[in-house]
Each structure stands twice: as C-alpha cells, then as structure tokens.
Amino acid sequence: MAEIVTPHVAALRVTTNRRGRDASGAGSGVVFTADGFILTNAHVVAGADAGTAVFADGSSTDVDVIGADPLSDLAVVRARSGAPPPAELGDASELRVGQLVVAVGNPLGLAGSVTAGVVSALGRSLPTRSGRAGRVVEDVIQTDAALNPGSSGGALADSAGRVVGINTAVAGIGLGLAVPMNTTTRRIISALLRDGRVRRAYLGVVSTPLPLPGPVAERTGQSSALRVVEVVDGSPAARSGLKAGDLVLSAGRQPVSDAQSLQRLLFADAIGEPLPVTVLRGEAMVDVIAVPSELTATTS
C-alpha cells in the first residue's frame, strides 16, 4: 500500500513573515483532486500565502494557499503546475482498532518516508483554537505509526491505500494523531475550496457529556446527554433561556450525546436560523429556540 500512496504525497515548504522576519515552515500534503489541490494541516501553512511542493518522483511545483481552518487543523493549497494524480480518499468511520495503517509524509525532510502501525484508538478529541474561538476536532484517529516533525499534513492510509486521515500531531512516544476523513471533514474541505475559509455558528455554551439516569434513558431512548456547565453572558444560548445545569437531549431535532454531535450542526447554514433545543431541567422537559450567531476569532 505504500507504493499506492507515496506518489500522491508532497513535501511542502512555505515561507512566512512574522514580526518583520522571514520564517520557513515544512510539512507534508496529499493531492486529492485531479486539478492539483493538496490537503494539509492549517498549522503547516499558518501565515503563508504560497510555497513549494516536491513529490516522490523528484518533480516540484510552486503552490498557493487556497484556505486554512485552524479549528479543524486543515488547509488546502493548489499546485501552479503539474501534480500527480489524486489519492483515493477513504472513510475513517469504517476503521477498527487494531487495523493496519501506514503514515506517509516528509518527516525531517525525508520525502516519501513511510511508517507502518495499527489504529490504537478511535474517537479521540483534539482541542484547537483560533484567536479566542475554540473547538474540538471530533473522532481523531490515534495510531502507533511513528510521526515526526514534518509528518504533519501527510497521509494516514488503510491497507487498500485509501487516505483515511491527515496526520496532525505527535501525542507522545510511539503515538500519533490524525484528523479523520469523514462527513464533517469533507464538508470543511468543500468550504475551503469554495470560500477559502469555514464559517461556523456559535451558541455560547460550555458543556460536558453526562450519562443519563436509567429512568431518563428509558424515557428518552438515549444513554447520554450534554450537561451545560456554563452559558456565556449575552450569547445566543443565554438569549434562548438555556441555563447552567440543563441537560441537552436534542438540537435541531437530532439527539445530542456529546460536544461533537452538537458541533456537527453548527456550520454556516445554521447562522441566524432558529435551532430548536430540548433540555431536561430538573424533572421537566423544556424546549427553547436558539438563534446561533457567526463564530469569529474574537468570540469566547
């Protein structure tokens, strides 16, 4: 499978200007369209407008940064000239713990480096920030395939050579994390291709998952909910009447069991639109209508 994936992975180098000084950054990227669009990490291209991509066959091209989304740590760049054919994108939701995967990237400047390992855990969370705005990347893949500086933005592929994740971080000795290729990720990529950025809706709650007591679980048909720890003053959640201590059971008439299930609803199409939310408050079911605003870098 290394032979299948390696030709589609580029070594990326970008130059940024920080505080009046030029600085260079390096990482990896994966060609994912026939017209030369390359997927990488937002932190690889942070502050850059352009750079260079070098492929496993020795060919190279200048690239332009199309868009970046720090809250998912994903970015898209485009080759100005010839690029290899695209890699096949897979579906991380089909992965299983113990499944064989390979990480292909540019660690320490070694183009086309491949390490093998297994999926050691699924469903991990990766906190990210952009200014004061925060988010949790959902369903992150944990692997024991060795990741090193420069691996960021490279491919995590399954045994069929399908890219199921984009390597993003070293979590410790022998552990690496990858942003999963799933429905949410594809939605983010589409937004980057279309708009160069990802617009998100903002509610203004701090929450944590909580198992539901047996009688409530039987009554609602779900085993967990999202406990509201804090409601930000003046936020859409505060205006809707949500209160600390509420157990969020559903939003947009879809069950809510964790922060990720709520985040999936908060993209651009939710901005300014009524969002019905059902909560358990004490022993009573309460319905409220929230109208999310747009999440910005200054939103807390």
Domain-wise residue ranges, the chain: 2-79, 92-183, 201-294
Q: If pLDDT is split at 50, 70 and 90, which confidence band does 129 have?
A: low
pLDDT of 69 > 80? The answer is yes
Least trusted range by pLDDT, from 211-215, 249-253, 290-294: 211-215
Catalytic residue numbers, as ranges = 43, 73, 152
List, for residues 190-219, the tens digit of each pLDDT value: 999 999 999 999 999 888 888 988 888 888
pTM for the full predicted model: 0.82
pLDDT of 108 > 60? The answer is no
* Neighbour count for residue 230 (Cβ, 10 Å): 12
For the chain, the distance separating the N- and C-terminal CA atoms, rounded to the nearest angstrom, is 44
- At which residue do the structure tokens 């994740």 appear? 165
Q: If pLDDT is split at 50, 70 and 90, which confidence band does 18 have?
A: low
Are 2-79 and 201-294 equal in CATH topology? no
Q: If pLDDT is split at 50, 70 and 90, which confidence band does 113 have?
A: confident
At a CB cut-off of 8 Å and minimum separation 6, what does 104 contact?
A: 2, 5, 6, 9, 28, 112, 113, 114, 154, 155, 157
pLDDT of residue 73: 92
pLDDT of 90 > 70? The answer is yes
Least trusted range by pLDDT, from 17-31, 125-139, 219-233: 125-139
The CA distance from 44 to 40, in Å, is 7
Least trusted range by pLDDT, from 16-20, 70-74, 153-157: 16-20
Distance set, CA 276 to CA 134, 194, 207, 212, 287 (Å): 23, 29, 17, 21, 7
pLDDT of residue 169: 78
Tokens found for residue 80: 């100005």
Q: If pLDDT is split at 50, 70 and 90, which confidence band does 107 have?
A: low
CATH class of 201-294: mainly beta
The domain over range 92-183 is classified in CATH as 2.40.30.10: no
Q: Which CATH superfamily is domain 2-79 in?
A: Trypsin-like serine proteases (2.40.10.10)
Tokens found for residue 182: 């799933």
pLDDT of residue 89: 96
